[in-house]
Amino acid sequence: MAATEKRPEIIELSRELRGVPHCEDYEKMISGMMYNPTIPRLLEARHICRGLTDDYNNLDTKSISYEDIADKRFELLKKLVGKVGEGTFIEPPFRPDYGCNISIGKECFINWNVTILDTSLVIIGDRVQIGTGVGLITAGHDVSVLSRRKFVEFGHPIFIEDDCWIGANVVILPGVRIGKGSTIGAASVVTKDIPPYSVAVGAPARVRKTIPSVEEEMADPHNPYRNLPDRND
């Protein structure tokens, strides 16, 4: 359902992102209000995103060594999305809508064929892993046929907190927050918030169990992962 007023906290978050097309309709769009996606400022923003997406997905890897590919892709990714942390890598093809409405933390891995309809903001934390074929969908439409004839829609933000794993072919719908350390099982459809350190599966996704926090795992002398070397060791 569309919101009836702007969300100042979401608009404030957008000011930290590169290349956002700030205007009245943009602020309505990311706040979840009805807006017109065909105004020139928004059409231009999506057009720019298409070009940057092509650059990212069509990088000529034959002329680049495997040691250099991550750095080359990271430079392109910094132009494509609104914000991205060091050590993050996205396998192409990658399909964002605006690109500038996406914030990704450090040391994330996103596998190929991921679509992000970032009508509103998509905020991804640190060390998040996302499987193939995932869709993060912030865009929404009313069931009213007349609303579609009038070309109005809305978008609600998606938040994926630190250390989450999103399985292959998962769909996350507008307005959802995935809590820290959670796992979403393959092919699930997430329609509601998932609490931290949960395992959720199904369509719609439901929490099946909770798991220990990182701190609890580190305190457990029998944890098989506790003494493994860190990524950069």
Q: What is the pLDDT of residue 47?
A: 98
Match domain 8-219 to its CATH number in 3.40.50.12280, 3.40.50.1100, 2.160.10.10, 2.40.160.20: 2.160.10.10
Asked if residues 46 and 25 have their Cβ atoms less than 8 Å apart, the reply is no
Q: What is the pLDDT of residue 1?
A: 86
> What is the pTM assigned to this prediction?
0.95
Q: Which of 60, 48, 47, 55 is nearest to 77 (CA)?
A: 55
Dist. CA 206–CA 98, nearest whole Å: 30
Q: Render each residue's pLDDT in the chain as its tens digit; 233 residues.
A: 889 999 999 999 999 999 999 999 999 999 999 999 999 999 999 999 999 999 999 999 888 998 899 999 999 999 999 999 999 999 999 999 999 999 999 999 999 999 999 999 999 999 999 999 999 999 988 888 888 887 778 999 999 999 999 999 999 999 999 999 999 999 999 999 999 999 999 999 999 999 999 999 999 999 999 888 887 66
* CA dist list (Å): 9 to 4, 14, 180, 189: 15, 9, 20, 27
For residue 210 the two structure tokens come to: 């909770």
Q: What is the pLDDT of residue 124?
A: 98
Q: What is the pLDDT of residue 95?
A: 98
Which residues are known catalytic residues? 141
Dist. CA 92–CA 160, nearest whole Å: 21
Domain ranges of the chain: 8-219
Dist. CA 92–CA 115, nearest whole Å: 11
Q: What is the pLDDT of residue 152?
A: 79
Asked if residues 168 and 186 have their Cβ atoms less than 8 Å apart, the reply is yes
Q: What is the pLDDT of residue 232?
A: 66
Q: What is the pLDDT of residue 143?
A: 85
